[in-house]
Structure 1
């Protein structure tokens, strides 16, 4: 197959999966499915509170309070945010990183609602590990929200550059990555959820004593896949640009994704610290890149031994 034919097929595939019309349909579908999921979750909660159904203690927190039902719509919103991340990736690596940060903040919000649903200040002391974890998550979310604002602010005020032939080639490369990434993420999501359901069944049968935290289902694998994609983008950037600042920025974005991925292996305050550190690192890298980019005029930059 000719390279030109292969490229055209990749572009057509991307345009089929990621275009404004499909995006709008997925957005509307997400709204309906999230609303339906919320109602179904509420019904399960009331059945549990009425004593009509019983569950294992490890998943009891998911249906112990009507507040826990908010967990479900946020899960569907997160899936839509994952789609948006891939949607914006060819347009801007920076914007896709911003969507990555938004996904992390939504995961944190979802966890906050789950933790709030099981609080009972009438029976436990205020400074228990569960309450402190909730406090860490709330403070962490506020810091993340502010850092995401800073990241977006820097993006809005960044220096615009003309789309060159090399940049067009880079965009095409990222579209190919997105076409490959989309089915992989679908397979990962199905595998992760199926594996969790199997673990839940084994838990009920007494085969195992614990299951994976529902809050990390899919996203462990998702951010591992993102690290690979980010590294591929970084490697490709060496071919399409020789700008030092851009190469360092892309390297920094890989590091921030790694830090976020590692956070899923930590609990409590360590988890929040890693999340905040990862996003803060990305903000600092983007800010330094914008400073460097403001003086970078390519071959016309006034740098020579005469100025030393």
Structure 2
């Protein structure tokens, strides 16, 4: 098994290093700026009827679609970063999912602008403006709660594992992350082709979140092999439940999505405080 774990590390670690490198972040940020500007130019060309017929049919005429497209790319990048955090602690992976939820709410706020006429006006857009306020303030509140969530994190269960068990456990999570990365790439290409050809399709980011929930449960069950105590199983299961509530928030209509997102964040914070403060002694006993 150690040979297999070594091969997994051999594949995963270089990919992770390249993705998290500062030079890669700069290149991606520059490419995102170019993508946004190019989107604005293409949309403007379509507004002026300067695009060929085969392109003008699926290129929007509202400049705010460029904002939505840019935020979609940002979300894709964040989901990839989330996949690379899976081998880290369970709490860190959950925190990353709250980061993505706040960005999705922010994207939803900008997405409402695509229904506005240009120039922007209040008349006839009162419901969309309420949705923007709801999603915007919801994203802000989750961002604030995320700060509290990271603040109350003091240690991870992985720190208490034996080195041999920790090595195999992390390697197994890296294997899961690699499979997720392949799945996400396939779903992204499939969604992009559908968008280009004009085929109706759902948001693949929301569909991928369902896979993330199943992955979280898989990690919980797998971690039980190394951390069989009630404390560890309940804590990890609770974090998995918070990700399930996040998925429900993504599928919920405006206002309800914010309430569910806030409920998930508060649940994760309360779970963390309870497990680390009230059950600190039980944690030490189960780790010893």
Give TM class, smaller chain: 0.7 to 0.9
Q: Go from structure 1 to structure 2 and tell me whether the alpha carbon gap of 1:170 and 1:300 turns closer, same or farther (over 3 Å shift).
A: closer
Distance across 1 between alignment mates of 2:89 and 2:43:
42
Contact 2:134-2:258 within 8 A present in 1 as well: yes
Who is 2:242 aligned against? 256
TM norm structure 2: 0.84
Q: Go from structure 1 to structure 2 and tell me whether the alpha carbon gap of 1:184 and 1:278 turns closer, same or farther (over 3 Å shift).
A: same
Higher relative contact order (CA 8 A, sep 6+): 2
Deviations 1:224-256 (A, max 9, x none): 111121011110121101332221121112112
Report how many aligned residue pairs link the two structures.
278
Contact 2:138-2:262 within 8 A present in 1 as well: yes
What secondary structure is seen at the aligned counterpart in 2 of 1:264?
helix
Who is 1:284 aligned against? 270
Q: Go from structure 1 to structure 2 and tell me whether the alpha carbon gap of 1:232 and 1:39 turns closer, same or farther (over 3 Å shift).
A: same
In the alignment, does 2:71 pair up with 1:64? no
Who is 1:275 aligned against? 261
Contact 1:159-1:293 within 8 A present in 2 as well: no
Who is 1:90 aligned against? 87
CA-based RMSD? 2.7
Distance across 2 between alignment mates of 1:300 and 1:13:
31
Unaligned regions of 5+ residues in structure 1, if any? 203-210, 302-308
Unaligned regions of 5+ residues in structure 2, if any? none
Distance across 2 between alignment mates of 1:283 and 1:59:
43
Q: Go from structure 1 to structure 2 and tell me whether the alpha carbon gap of 1:300 and 1:117 turns closer, same or farther (over 3 Å shift).
A: closer
Deviations 1:151-173 (A, max 9, x none): 11112x34784452333332122
Contact 2:229-2:286 within 8 A present in 1 as well: no
Distance across 1 between alignment mates of 2:246 and 2:256:
12
Who is 2:43 aligned against? 45
Who is 1:150 aligned against? 148
Pick the structure with greater CA Rg: 1
Contact 1:252-1:285 within 8 A present in 2 as well: yes
Who is 2:232 aligned against? 246
Question: Equivalent residues in 2 for 1:160-171 (5 A)?
Answer: 161-165=159-163, 166-171=165-170
Who is 1:31 aligned against? 29
Distance across 2 between alignment mates of 1:259 and 1:212:
24
Who is 1:187 aligned against? 186
Distance across 1 between alignment mates of 2:267 and 2:59:
35
